[in-house]
Amino acid sequence: MIVKDLDLNVKIGSLLLKNPVMTASGTFGYGEEFENLIDLNRIGAIIVKGISYEPRPGNPPPRVVETSSGMLNAIGLENVGVERFISEKLPYFDHVDSRLIVNILGDSRVDGIEVNISCPNVKKGGVAFGTIPAMAAAVTRAVKAETDQPVIVKLSPNVTDITEIACAVEDGGADSVSLINTLIGMAIDIKSKQPKLANIIGGLSGPAIKPVALRMVHQVSQRVKIPVIGIGGIATYEDAVEFLLAGASAIQVGTANFYQPKAVEYIIDGISRYLQEEKVQAVNDIIGKVQINR
């Protein structure tokens, strides 16, 4: 039996996505970098690199280093700034049939906003917001007051209890939480005796962190009512399905884009195949359906 009319739609607050697969901020450039390698129109939503008001040069090199099944980055939010983003990068999306989610405030073509309160590579601000519930809630409230777009708040995993932060952010009015950002890590070159990153520490991402991300997504989805977006080491459709079963309403693909630019396409196709095999018509019907017997 073939399940007809598979329904991959998911809703993140008021935002309807044609499928639950997005690209994670900072791992997909401004979208156009991938146009020859993947059909951008198939992607549920594209989240572009974090945009700050002023352009930021980012951290000195070296900025990336490979680790076992992962990588450390200390890009430091290098970005073109709001102005150049709007004039140079945004128009490109006029012809892309995928949701566009950014970190900046308001704009007609922007479909949603992800607020990164968890970047480990920026010295002031970010990190503290992400680890103190009251501050996380305050930031959320401030952003909500400024926009009508759905607001997704992106959480840091470098905390004792991520559910506490998630609840605070939900109270602050967030439409969704996304998690996880990178774990803070470090690597040392034993020849030069220097840290491998000029910034000393960086964010760990990739398959290495998937078990931690999945655990946190599961914990958070049991505590909040708003949709949870799963991020962390997702590279295959099996990974994506694990997160959906754990309670994520959608997922983001990060580091995998670097080594498999077609990852998002493969994941969307794989989810469809999985639904067929499981004889489930709508992706919504597997969200949170992990079987826990005790």
Ligand X SMILES: Cc1cc2nc3c(=O)[nH]c(=O)nc-3n(C[C@H](O)[C@H](O)[C@H](O)COP(=O)(O)O)c2cc1C
130 binding ligand X? (CB under 6 A) = no
Decide: is 183 part of the binding site for a second copy (CB under 8 A).
yes
Q: What is residue 249's three-state secondary structure?
A: coil
CB of 286 to a second copy, least distance (A): 8
- Residue pointed to by tokens 């970010």: 126
Minimum CB separation of residue 108 from a second copy in Å reads: 39
Q: For residue 167, indicate whether it is catalytic.
A: no
Strand partners, 19: none
Q: Is 89 in the site for ligand X (CB under 6 A)?
A: no
- Rounded to whole angstroms, the Cα distance separating 283 from 134 reads 34
Least distance from ligand X to the Cβ atom of residue 123, Å: 15
The answer to whether 177 and 154 have CB atoms below 8 angstroms apart is yes
Residue 69 found at the interface with a second copy (CB under 8 A): yes
Contact with ligand X (CB under 6 A) among 50, 120, 150, 195: 50
Q: Is the dihedral of CA 267, 93, 180, 184 positive or negative?
A: positive
Residue entry with tokens 């195949």: 273
215 binds, among a second copy, ligand X, other proteins, none (CB under 5 to 8 A by kind): a second copy
- Is 292 a residue that touches a second copy (CB under 8 A)? yes
Residue 203 found at the interface with other proteins (CB under 8 A):
no
- To the nearest 10 degrees (0 to 180), the angle between helices 162-171 and 133-146 is 30
Q: Is 69 in the site for other proteins (CB under 8 A)?
A: yes
Tell which one of 17, 38, 46, 49 touches ligand X (CB under 6 A).
Answer: 49
Task: State the Cα–Cα distance between residues 43 and 253, nearest whole angstrom.
Answer: 11
Query: Cα separation of 136 and 116, whole Å?
Result: 10
Window 174-193: residues binding ligand X (CB under 6 A):
181-182
Please, which residues have CB within 8 angstroms of residue 128's CB and are 6 or more apart in sequence? Answer: 135
23 counts as binding ligand X under rule CB under 6 A = no
Q: Select which of 10, 12, 51, 119 is catalytic.
A: 119
- The least distance separating a second copy from the CB of residue 140, rounded to whole angstroms, comes to 19
Choose between 195 and 227: whose C-beta lies nearer to a second copy: 195
What are the CA-CA distances from residue 3 to residues 10, 19, 64, 123, 249 (Å)?
Answer: 18, 17, 44, 50, 21
Residues 93-122 that bind ligand X (CB under 6 A): 116, 119
Q: What's the min distance (Å) between Cβ of 16 and ligand X?
A: 22
